[in-house]
Amino acid sequence: MKTTALLTAFLLCSPLLAQDTDTPNAAPTPAVEMTEQAQHHLQLSRNILQVLRELTGTLQTVKDRDSADAAAVKVQEIAARMQELQVQAESYPTLSKEQEALVKASINKQEVQDTVHNFLISVVQVAQVNCYESDSMSKALSGVLNKATKTPTETTN
């Protein structure tokens, strides 16, 4: 499914999920303390997870055309917040390897995997039934996916 492939590509390329999932969380070196910039990166990661959970919850309420139409407004609002988070992430300076390791060690990988898994399931479930023939839900989901998959140059133009 094209929609799922685009979304998966975005999620795997996002700063939150760009971490190496094959290696266990390494214990940070005690001599390195998390900088304010690293704390901002960590908070952004948590905000991204929260938005995905909220979007998942909204999509899970969709059971027919009426509920799809009603949820479409909320999905559009969440898409706008996703865009804000993407712009925010692009504006953050790159962290040192040590600070990046601290941020990654502070993120619960199982929570990320579960959140992304549930989100993808909810998108696929709504897409499988063609958004219950709701044009507004179809446009809203397309908006989420389009905003989520834009490159940095596309978002600044």
Task: Classify the C-alpha dihedral 59-64-67-70 as positive or negative.
Answer: positive
Please answer whether residues 127 and 141 qualify as being in contact, where contact means their C-beta atoms are separated by less than 8 angstroms.
yes
SS (H, E, C) 60-116: HCCCCHHHHHHHHHHHHHHHHHHHHHHHHHHHCCCCCHHHHHHHHHHCCHHHHHHHH
For residues 17-46, give the mean pLDDT.
Answer: 71
- As given in the structure block, the two tokens for residue 15 are 């700063």
In this model, does residue 7 exceed pLDDT 70? no
For residues 128-134, give the mean pLDDT.
Answer: 94
Higher pLDDT, 94 or 148: 94
Task: Work out the mean pLDDT of the chain and round it to a whole number.
Answer: 81
At 55-106, the pLDDT tens digits run 999 999 999 999 999 999 999 999 899 889 999 999 999 999 999 999 999 9
Higher pLDDT, 105 or 25: 105
The domains of the chain are located at 37-152
**92 — phi, psi (to 5°)?**
-75, 140
Place of tokens 């600070």: 99
